[in-house]
Amino acid sequence: MHDVAIYFERTAGSNLNGHRSGAKSQAESNGRGHGVRAVRHADGEDDLLYDELSQQRIETAVRQILGAVGEDPMRDGLIGTPGRVARMYHELLEGYAKDLDRVINGALFDVDYDDGEMVTVADIPYTSLCEHHMLPFVGTAHVAYIPRDRVVGLSKIPRIVDMFAKRLQIQERLTNEIAGAIEAALDPQGIMVVVEGTHSCASLRGVKKHGVNMITTARRGLFREDVSLRDDFYRQIGR
């Protein structure tokens, strides 16, 4: 992760930064993906591994698409394309191999926060795939929460964003899934998520409008009730 701006109204807790070691392989199935394997590292992170069967199925499908559009999948420039596309999809969709407990990996810290004090993590870049056309949409996510009695390690919120972004998505659901996961992990007094996105399915096809920025929000708890908290959050993220 880079270019992630962090704002604290009070210093609280510390983040957990581990080094990868002691990798352990295991099969994964989360109800939205099948045939997915992951390597779990000591820091709780999972690396998606594509098994041979799913790799072959994607490669076969790509060859069929190439043939259907009139190309020769065996010509020099395309012979390696099916394998590259399969690896690309496994990388872009690796969120299916992750779950909230492993992403957080115990990095929750008790704090003494006064009511209404906010933790904001802004300008989190993400890339996702639109589930309607499987075209990319990219943007930034901004997250604020008001702790009840604990905070989460600094790196974990961007990782939560990635866990949901690296799936077939729509932006509205992505926004609510981020909010719901943080709410489940922390039980904060309030949480607000703003996601901005530029969708290539709208710029490359259909209406073909470039530079259109979609903004979605999710508000829970105090952020739903208190306009001044929302205004403070918008001010922190420059909106």
Bridge partners of residue 130, in order along the sequence: 169
171 catalytic per annotation: yes
Q: Among 87, 174, 163, 100, which residue's Cα sits nearest to residue 137?
A: 174
132 catalytic per annotation: yes
201 catalytic per annotation: yes
Q: Six-digit token pair at 61? A: 């499908």
Per annotation, catalytic residue among 41, 90, 142, 199: 199
Q: Among 230, 237, 198, which residue's Cα sits nearest to residue 215?
A: 198
Q: Are the C-beta atoms of 230 and 223 separated by less than 8 Å?
A: yes
Per annotation, catalytic residue among 9, 133, 183, 236: 133
> Which DSSP string do the residues of 126-165 spell out, in sequence order?
EEEEETTT--EEEEEEEEEEE-SSEEE-TTHHHHHHHHHH
Per annotation, catalytic residue among 26, 34, 64, 131: 131
71 catalytic per annotation: no
Q: Among 91, 101, 93, which residue's Cα sits nearest to residue 34?
A: 93
64 catalytic per annotation: no
Residue ranges in 36-97 assigned as alpha helix (H): 52-68, 81-92
Q: Among 22, 190, 25, which residue's Cα sits nearest to residue 116?
A: 190
Q: Among 128, 141, 155, which residue's Cα sits nearest to residue 191?
A: 141
Per annotation, catalytic residue among 71, 117, 183, 201: 201
133 catalytic per annotation: yes
Per annotation, catalytic residue among 171, 177, 189, 196: 171
Per annotation, catalytic residue among 130, 142, 177, 196: 130
Q: Are the C-beta atoms of 95 and 167 separated by less than 8 Å?
A: yes
Per annotation, catalytic residue among 26, 91, 132, 172: 132
Which residues are the active-site residues? Answer: 130-133, 171, 199, 201
